[in-house]
Amino acid sequence: MIDLSTCAWRHALVTGGAGFLGSHLCERLLDAKVEVDCADNLSSGSHGNIAHLEGRRGFRFVECDVCAPDAARRLPGPYDLILHFACPASPADYLRLPLETLDVGSLGTRTMLALAERDGARFLLASTSEVYGDPLSHPQREDYWGNVNPVGPRSVYDESKRFSEALVTAHVRTRDADAGIVRLFNTYGPRMRAYDGRAVPTFVRQALTGEPLTVAGDGRQTRSLCYVDDTVDGVLLVAASHSVRPVNIGGTDEITVDEIAHRVVELTGSSSAIVHVDRPIDDPQRRRPDTGLARELLGWAPRVPWEEGIKQTIAYFTATPSVAEPTPEE
């Protein structure tokens, strides 16, 4: 865990702060004595993710859509740091909310950049490995432009993030904004939703309930898992660095989806079978970040082995059985 005592942040805004990753960021900032405004419209986030933070000194939850005309008025600040993490991030969410996903990447990002300009705040955009699409270059470096289908079913998320990156870059170039971009790869851990469509929570839920684990395609496609604590460290290091370049943050161990499924079965002691289902359109075949820039610029590298992170995720699901129950929209 990184030391934030040298950072001068007094008041931070975390959009999407009631989401999986956003809630961990709120918690880490509070632990560092930074006041936190957590803004979320709860379209994919959950009040349960931040319930343990309410009542803590310096924490304020604002149920707010960052695309709404009154967003700036409801978030008066002033802020030293704005972490823009508002966006449906899982397939279940962005396929259910396609227009909202595009709005938050465009209008929402522009509104939050204006808020950062108003307050002279450091701004950091949560982008994604999805900007690389189904990459033809491996591992993926920050200077790779990507191989993206702009009209496929996943495009609402991919293109939303690509456009939001363009907005941030334009603000840096034309307004000298202190704004950066962090590209996140396959983060997982406690507070994920069991039905959000991503591999790790899906496999853990299925294993714990005795359902067959549904592996897409032949399972030989790869992912690079990064435990949430390591991702939070990387995000905050990028925020503190004042870098305006996109920076990859993600795991460096490349694992097949089939291997993840088998290991989850072993670690849970489940009797679940593993079955193969149709692979989603535009599902990337290989995914692994080149994290050389994060290592050189920030001294960052993931520290939690992926199997240890899986154990922690299983423990969370086991201790919180309600997370395995679908919400009404799921």
In Å, how far are 38, 49, 221 from 17, measured between CA atoms? 5, 9, 31
Say if strands 35-40 and 59-63 run parallel, antiparallel, or are unpaired.
parallel
Instruction: Work out whether strand 222-223 and strand 255-256 pair parallel, antiparallel, or are unpaired.
Output: antiparallel
- Phi and psi, residue 6, nearest 5°: -85, -10
- Concerning whether 79 is annotated as a catalytic residue, the answer is no
Nearest to 207, CA basis, from 276, 277, 270, 275: 270
Q: Which residues lie across from 59 on neighbouring strands?
A: 36
DSSP 187-241: EE-TT--TTSS-HHHHHHHHHHHTPPEEEETTS--EE--EEHHHHHHHHHHHHHH
133: amino acid identity, one letter: G
| CA–CA gap between residue 194 and residue 237 (Å, rounded) | 29
Q: Among 157, 188, 195, 227, which one carries the catalytic annotation?
A: 157
Dihedral angle over CA of 265, 268, 271, 277, nearest 10: -40
CA distance 287 to 55: 40
The radius of gyration computed from the CA coordinates of the chain, to the nearest angstrom, equals 19
Q: In whole angstroms, give the CA distance from residue 43 to residue 40.
A: 8
Is residue 245 within 8 Å of 96, Cβ to Cβ? Answer: no
Q: Tokens for 215?
A: 């592996």
Among 222, 194, 217, 185, CA closest to 203: 194
Sign of CA dihedral 166, 169, 174, 177: positive
Positions annotated as catalytic residues are: 157
